[in-house]
Amino acid sequence: MIAPHEGSDAPARIDWPAQIHETLSAWEVRQVGYVPDAGHSRLIEHCHADPQMATTVLTTEEEGIALLAGAWLGGQRGVLLMQSSGVGNCINMFSLLKSCRMPLVAIVTMRGEWGEFNPWQIPMGSTTTRSLELAGIATYRVEREESVRETVEVALGCAYDTHCPSAVILSQRMLGRKKWTD
């Protein structure tokens, strides 16, 4: 838990990035691929600090599908961290999952919904879940911080117990509204 600001009546916030990292560690995830993203920044920091996890910065999200295929073939579990706009970049590579019956766990930070300021994010943000589902990927949406750990557990179980590709969708409302900064 993260404490509220001193003197604040706001409830304590849950440190969901730490919870995701703890869950990934418990499931022996060893490979983490990501395109840098502010929504995942704290989770990425946790993964970098973990000597049991190899982190790989990707130039584009579809490289993560190949990275995770290699990890799986080598006997390791992996996870792909990406923003909703990256889902569109992966559409062709998602066919590999079904063809090879390969597990996938993607943790997707949403853009293009709650309070979005950037019109370029809206088209893919409005179709992210449907795109994943049409590609045969089970989706699990998180609206509240309290649901993060349990939802990630379910997605990991889906992927690694049944080889069913899965994605956890972290809602923009939960993540907080992004704004342009000077």
Tell me the domain boundaries of the chain: 16-144
Question: What count of residues does the chain have?
Answer: 182
150 confidence band (pLDDT: 50, 70, 90): very high
Q: Please give the model's pTM, rounded to 2 decimal places.
A: 0.87
Q: Which fold has domain 16-144?
A: Rossmann fold (3.40.50)
Angle of the 16-26 helix axis to the 41-49 helix axis, nearest 10 = 40
Q: What is the mean pLDDT of residues 40-61?
A: 96
pLDDT tens column, 70-85: 999 999 999 999 988 8
Please report the pLDDT score of residue 171 as a whole number. Answer: 83
Per-residue pLDDT at 1 exceeds 80: no
Element (H, E) at 90: helix 84-90
User: What tokens appear for 19 in the block?
Assistant: 């919870």
Instruction: Quote the CA–CA distance of 107 and 37 in Å, as a whole number.
Output: 12
Q: Would you give the DSSP letter of residue 171?
A: -
